[in-house]
Amino acid sequence: MANNVDALYIFLLVVSGMMTVAIFTLVLVFAVRYRKRPGQRAEQIDGSHALEITWSLIPFCIFMVFFAWGAIIFFQERKPPQNSAEVYTVAKQWMWKFEHMEGQREINELHVPIGRDVKMIMTSQDVIHSFFVPAFRIKQDVLPGRYTVAWFHATKAGTYHLFCAEYCGTMHSGMVGSVVVMEPKDYEAWMGGGGNQPLAVTGEKLFTELGCVTCHRSDTQGRGPNLVSIFGKPVLLEDGRTVVADENYIRESILQPGAKIVNGFKPIMPTFQGQISDEQLNALVAYVKSLSQAPSGQTGGRKMATATP
Amino acid sequence: MASGERETYLNKEYGIKSWLLTVDHKRIALLYLVSITFFFFIGGFFALLIRLELLTPAGDLVQADTYNKLFTMHGQVMVFFFLIPAVPAVLGNFLIPIMIGAKDLAFPRVNLLSWYLYIIGGALMLYTILNGGVDTGWTFYTPLSTEFLNTHVVTAGLAIFVAGFSSILTGLNFVVTTHRMRAPGMTWSRLPLFVWAHYATSIIQLLGTPVLAITLLLVVCERLFHLGIFNPALGGDPLLFQHLFWFYSHPAVYIMILPGMGIVSEIVCCFSRKRIFGYTAMALALLGIAVVGFLVWAHHMFVAGISLYAAMIFSLLSYFVAVPSAIKVFNWTSTMYKGSITYQTPMLYAFGFIGLFTMGGLTGLFLASLGIDVHVTDTYFVVAHFHYIMVGGMVMAYLGGMHFWWPKISGRMYPEGWGRLAALLVFVGFNLTFFPQFILGYMGMPRRYWDYSHSPEFQILNVLSTAGATVLAVGYVLPMIYFLWSMRYGKPAPDNPWNAAGLEWMVPSPPPTFNFEEQPVVTWEAYNYDEIKEEVPVAQ
């Protein structure tokens, strides 16, 4: 990705450099060539429609190349590949908190292996922050109240700057960290340390503790929708709309259950706004997502928890 | 008035009351000139402190909170109390009635009211500054501004709110004046481009500024009364704020730059002794920028969390607005072709404007390109880009215009040698300050960082930038000194020191209160340099 961005950047530099040189040269040449000389008067020229059209259309065509190339890169940047490793991120004044699917938690440091697509699922506890890793050429604002997503694919081991790029108060410039890119085997070793509980397992426990499981059963008898295999699928709502069940949809359904009622169900779910932390919310989202993974998936398809009386 | 001396708008009456209660557009222009110069130097002082702090990677000169206040107030003062009023309220106010052959603006009292509103807004801003300041960033992003800061957000917001009405009233006055007050024969196609530029600007001021006013009021309401509008914890949407804010604040860039384009058109024609190349295209380009400029605001939000397709549409539209800007640069350049060019101070500023605006515009194309914007937005690349437009473009044009019309305004000539020296200092100082910031931005230095001790590799470029800022400061102080000096000691200016075309050069310098002794009738096209036999006199 960084290479694509740099290639476009160099292309832009060359093209706009040529335009700049052309204009500067013309201005300077005219300024010298047509400087005031005794006995010589300016020659009046009113303009030329042909020229106006030419120098509108040619730049316009060049601009369209800039646009299309930039849009293609952006499109890739905004579409995380399937099966990316996911890192749930909570930003707050003034630190970054990361939680891997395997359950490792980090603050201001993010360890990732070479050669894996990593998808950052991010939210903020307070104000707007922005996740910026200059070496990867990616940046994404992190907002309170919803998830935003960024992804990258590191190719070279090393430690890279992580900056908050959206002004967030007093210690904005202290909200920095690093992304540590490791060889896969070093990463495995790092991962292996400490018996962490995978995020989806944490979520599963919460799902039971909070009583979600009593309504969201894995059969058709529940008072709430069956959540198995819903992630990434379209959901038909009571008002006839269809939405895709992505991370933001699950998040919203937990915090504001009345916002989008699934067709055929009643708006009886209580809100969890203010009752669970962003980290717990992330675990629940991770759990619901895990219900949709094929059994051969990395974390293994999980069975939906059964109600324990 | 001394006996035997000609009566002018300056010596008609004396005393503080004759200024504070004047309804003469020329006197009001001077009131504005004094006020915006005051705020320019306050904003400039903040900028110097910012540059000094960034000389070293560690945060050592000021505290983090102080630094945040400095860049916030630098932005707010410069944008709302200098750049936006600068050209329209000073040069536009002074020149538009004279250029179209009118005695005054359509609503002289409203014109005075708009200055008082500016002063009330300015007083609120000063109150904010003196009472500990505000640290929202000039952009007031929510929910930071509404929930998380303990500084004077409300007074700063109200200051800008009030000053906004000053801007709206000026715009209203210019629109009506341009429609209703033109002298016989002054058809739309004979208007100087300076007037066209202000007409386009006024439309933006009229349509855009109310949105800013509403937005700031909503911020104040959320902050004071916890109305949930922008804060998600109260059920609001922080992106709504950004949409509303940029709906004004992107067009506001054109409020700042279009009048500058008007000035440059006048100067280039005069010092090339040429009619403008492509008059119609130039006028249409001004209107085109004003209209399309309203449709590109979300290019400030590509990484803010807007949808993929919204981002693509706004990227595309941003390129549309670049076309008329390109047309303008090509036309200025072509105007010089086969001209008879001299290099007085105003022309040097015009050269500077064309060069710096070109670079500012082209780097804007980088930012409009989605793939690049993701990397460089909110870094020093953006800071450098908009300073190339707003300082390199707008302030260069403003200074060029001040030198060009200073003989008309004051009745005195400024010292040409000092003028050229200052123009050179501004150009060199500006580039030294801001060019390194493009590189810093691509290297990844985020804007609004007080401390970069984690990245010492940024230091060299920051040192260059600070060095440039000191040169730039000298370049800005010099004109203020010699303009003041010239008011007493400058050579008396002839009515038309540049042998320039345009009605403003046919009235005495300085003009009488009602501008024209008798109603002028216009029978010539704009920039009729073919009919003016004299060249620009050689400077001493």
Which residue pairs from A297-302 have beta carbons closer than 8 angstroms and sit at least 24 positions apart in sequence?
A297/A83, A298/A83, A298/A85, A298/A101, A299/A101, A299/A198, A299/A200, A302/A200, A302/A204
Residues A171 and A89 in one domain: yes
Nearest CA in chain A to B239: A143
Residues A92 and A185 in one domain: yes
Q: Supply the pLDDT for residue A148.
A: 95
Nearest CA in chain B to A75: B308
| The domain boundary residue, chosen from A165, A192, A219 | A192
Q: Supply the pLDDT for residue B539.
A: 58
Q: Is the CB of B508 inside 8 Å of chain A's CB atoms? A: no
Which residues on adjacent β-strands are paired with residue A86? Answer: A119
Q: Is the CB of B457 inside 8 Å of chain A's CB atoms? A: no
Spatial separation of the C-alpha atoms in residues B62 and B263, rounded to whole Å: 39
Nearest to B535 among A23, A36, A126 (CB): A36
DSSP E strand stretches across B256-309: none
Residues A120 and A210 in one domain: no
Residues 6 or more apart whose CB falls under 8 angstroms from that of B481 comprise none
Nearest CA in chain A to B537: A36
Q: Evaluate whether A176 touches A162 at the Cβ level (below 8 Å).
A: yes
Query: How large is the C-alpha radius of gyration of chain A?
Result: 27
CA distances from A288 to A219, A294, A304, B17 (A): 15, 13, 9, 74
Query: How large is the C-alpha radius of gyration of chain B?
Result: 23
Q: Is residue B271 part of a domain?
A: yes
B336–A172 C-beta distance less than 8 A: no
Q: Which residue has the tokens 């959206």?
A: A166
Nearest CA in chain B to A141: B304
Q: Is residue B163 part of a domain?
A: yes
B371–A73 C-beta distance less than 8 A: yes
Closest-CA distance, A174 to chain B, in angstroms, reads 7
What CATH number has the domain bearing residue A180? Answer: 2.60.40.420
Sheet holding A105-107, edge to edge: A105-107, A95-100, A85-92, A117-124, A148-153
Most B-contacting residue of A9, A24, A36, A142 (CB-CB within 10 A), to test interface: A36
Most A-contacting residue of B144, B438, B528 (CB-CB within 10 A), to test interface: B144
Q: Which helix (H) or strand (E) holds A19?
A: helix A2-33
Closest-CA distance, B170 to chain A, in angstroms, reads 32
Q: Evaluate whether A111 touches A190 at the Cβ level (below 8 Å).
A: yes
Q: Is residue B510 part of a domain?
A: no
Q: Is residue A275 part of a domain?
A: yes
B339–A139 C-beta distance less than 8 A: no
Q: Supply the pLDDT for residue A299.
A: 43
Of A283, A121, A292, A298, nearest to A199 by C-alpha is A283
Q: Average pLDDT of B7-32?
A: 94
A-B CB pairs within 8 A amount to: 264
Q: Supply the pLDDT for residue B540.
A: 46
Q: Average pLDDT of B140-156?
A: 94
Residue numbers of B between 245 and 274 with CB closer than 8 Å to A: 272-274
Q: Average pLDDT of B38-53?
A: 96
- Judged by DSSP in three states, A99 sits in strand
Residues A94 and A184 in one domain: yes
Residues A205 and A144 in one domain: no
Nearest to A130 among B337, B378, B530 (CB): B378
Most A-contacting residue of B333, B447, B529 (CB-CB within 10 A), to test interface: B333
B311–A144 C-beta distance less than 8 A: no
Spatial separation of the C-alpha atoms in residues A12 and B382, rounded to whole Å: 16
B239–A138 C-beta distance less than 8 A: no
Q: Evaluate whether B474 touches B429 at the Cβ level (below 8 Å).
A: yes
Structure tokens at B150: 């303990």
Residues A101 and A178 in one domain: yes
Q: Is residue B27 part of a domain?
A: yes
Q: Is residue B535 part of a domain?
A: no
Contacts B354 to A, Cβ<8 Å: 23, 27
Residues A131 and A114 in one domain: yes
Residues A182 and A209 in one domain: no
> Into how many domains does chain A fold?
2
Q: Supply the pLDDT for residue B3.
A: 52
10-residue mean pLDDT series, chain A (309 residues): 87 94 94 88 88 93 95 92 92 94 91 95 95 96 95 95 96 95 92 79 90 84 85 89 91 89 88 88 91 57 47
Spatial separation of the C-alpha atoms in residues A73 and A197, rounded to whole Å: 36
Q: Decide which of A228 and B161 is more confident.
A: B161
Residue numbers of B between 131 and 190 with CB closer than 8 Å to A: 135, 137, 141, 143-144, 147-149
Q: Supply the pLDDT for residue B25.
A: 97
Pairing of strands A129-133, A158-164: antiparallel
- pLDDT tens, position by position, B269-312: 999 999 999 999 999 999 999 999 999 999 999 999 999 999 99
Contacts A73 to B, Cβ<8 Å: 370-371
Q: Supply the pLDDT for residue A304.
A: 54
By residue count, chain A amounts to 309
Q: Is residue B296 part of a domain?
A: yes
Residues A170 and A216 in one domain: no
Residues 6 or more apart whose CB falls under 8 angstroms from that of A33 comprise none
Closest-CA distance, A298 to chain B, in angstroms, reads 29
Q: Supply the pLDDT for residue B533.
A: 82
Which residue pairs from A270-279 have beta carbons closer than 8 angstroms and sit at least 24 positions apart in sequence?
A272/A210, A276/A206, A276/A210, A278/A90, A278/A123, A278/A125, A279/A88, A279/A90, A279/A97, A279/A99
Give percent above pLDDT 90 in chain B.
95
- pLDDT tens, position by position, B337-373: 999 999 999 999 999 999 999 999 999 999 999 999 9
Q: Is residue A151 part of a domain?
A: yes
Structure tokens at A92: 């707050």
With 0.90 as the threshold, say if the pTM is over it: yes
CA distances from A18 to A13, A23, A25, B198 (A): 8, 9, 10, 32
Q: How many helices (H) and strands (E) does chain B have?
A: 17, 0
B355–A144 C-beta distance less than 8 A: no
Give the distance, in angstroms, between the CA of residue B464 and the centroid of all CA atoms in the same chain. 25
Q: Is residue A21 part of a domain?
A: no
Residues A159 and A209 in one domain: no
Q: Is residue B500 part of a domain?
A: yes
Question: Mean pLDDT over all residues of chain B?
Answer: 95
What CATH number has the domain bearing residue A214? Answer: 1.10.760.10
Q: Is residue B514 part of a domain?
A: no
- pLDDT tens, position by position, B442-466: 999 999 999 999 999 999 999 999 9
Closest-CA distance, B518 to chain A, in angstroms, reads 31
- pLDDT tens, position by position, B252-273: 999 999 999 999 999 999 999 9
Q: Is residue A56 part of a domain?
A: no
Nearest to A126 among B148, B276, B302 (CB): B148
Closest-CA distance, A188 to chain B, in angstroms, reads 28
Q: Supply the pLDDT for residue A273.
A: 86
Q: What is the DSSP letter of A262?
A: B
What CATH number has the domain bearing residue B74? Answer: 1.20.210.10
Contacts B68 to A, Cβ<8 Å: 167, 169-170, 172
- Tell me which residue range forms the domain holding A211: 199-290
- Tell me which residue range forms the domain holding B393: 23-505
Pairing of strands A138-142, A176-182: unpaired
Q: Supply the pLDDT for residue B197.
A: 97
Q: Evaluate whether B30 touches B102 at the Cβ level (below 8 Å).
A: no
Q: Is residue A145 part of a domain?
A: yes
Structure tokens at B127: 């109150």
Q: Supply the pLDDT for residue A195.
A: 66
DSSP secondary structure, B125-165, as one string: HHHHHHTT---STTTT-TTIIIII--SSHHHHHHHHHHHHH
In the predicted model, is pLDDT for residue B243 greater than 60?
Answer: yes
Q: Supply the pLDDT for residue A308.
A: 41
Spatial separation of the C-alpha atoms in residues B275 and A143, rounded to whole Å: 53
User: What number of other Cβ atoms are within 10 A of residue B536's Cβ?
Assistant: 20
Pairing of strands A148-153, A95-100: unpaired
Spatial separation of the C-alpha atoms in residues B87 and B102, rounded to whole Å: 19
Q: Is the CB of B303 inside 8 Å of chain A's CB atoms? A: yes
Structure tokens at A81: 């590949």
B319–A66 C-beta distance less than 8 A: yes
Alpha helix (H) ranges present in B273-376? 279-292, 308-336, 345-368, 370-376
B372–A9 C-beta distance less than 8 A: yes
Contacts B232 to A, Cβ<8 Å: 143-146
> Into how many domains does chain B fold?
1
Which residues on adjacent β-strands are paired with residue A129? Answer: A142
| The domain boundary residue, chosen from A161, A192, A223 | A192
Q: Average pLDDT of B176-191?
A: 96
Measured over the CA atoms of residue A177, residue A183, residue A187 and residue A189, the dihedral's sign is negative
Q: Supply the pLDDT for residue B93.
A: 97
